[in-house]
């Protein structure tokens, strides 16, 4: 299975980064993540990012800057459960509204240095490494 995902690294004026926790039922459940979601058919990555962030957090993205693309394979002993994800990651510094977890998911602002202490899905590790270097 292949999944294309739009991901937002939302950074406020204090250089804190917004993260949310995946529900227990989701793949890589109970881990923290950068918000975003699947790109639907006939949708650009930027459109998907805007839609997902509005649905999940209730904010309107005003601008985004491409950061990195990551492809990660989650292997399983059962091939039908293996999954390859491509994350297209964007930095978001301008938005309208205050982000909150509209789907009941826990959310929080964290300092860059805290990222190394938080459990993220394997596919997000490269994003964390990039953010810790900058």
Q: What are the DSSP calls for 55-84, one per residue?
A: HHH--EEEEEEEEEEEEEEE--SSGGG-EE
| Res 82: pLDDT | 75
- Provide the domain count of the chain: 1
CA distance 114 to 9: 15
What is the average per-residue pLDDT within 7-24?
94
Q: What is the pLDDT of residue 80?
A: 67
Average pLDDT of the residues in 34-59: 96
Handedness of CA 39, 26, 128, 94 (dihedral sign): positive
pLDDT, position 83: 77
The parent domain of residue 82 ranges over 2-133
> Which 8-state DSSP code applies to residue 90?
E
The reported pLDDT for the residue numbered 134 is 77
CB 53 within 8 A of CB 61: yes
User: What's 76's domain CATH number?
Assistant: 3.90.79.10
pTM: 0.90
Alpha helices in 40-85 (DSSP H): 45-57
The pLDDT-based confidence of 77 (bands split at 50, 70, 90) is: confident
């Amino acid at each position: 299975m292949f999944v294309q995902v739009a991901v937002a690294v939302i950074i406020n004026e204090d250089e804190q980064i917004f993260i949310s926790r995946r529900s227990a039922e989701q793949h890589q459940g109970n881990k923290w993540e950068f918000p975003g979601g699947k790109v639907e058919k006939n949708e650009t990555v930027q459109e998907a990012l805007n839609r997902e962030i509005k649905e999940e957090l209730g904010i309107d993205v005003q601008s985004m800057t491409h950061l990195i693309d990551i492809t990660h394979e989650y292997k399983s002993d059962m091939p039908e459960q293996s999954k390859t994800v491509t994350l297209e990651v964007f930095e978001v510094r301008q938005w309208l509204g205050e982000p909150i977890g509209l789907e009941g998911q826990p959310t929080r602002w964290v300092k860059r240095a805290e990222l190394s202490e938080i459990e993220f899905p394997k596919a997000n590790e490269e994003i964390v490494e990039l953010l810790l270097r900058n």
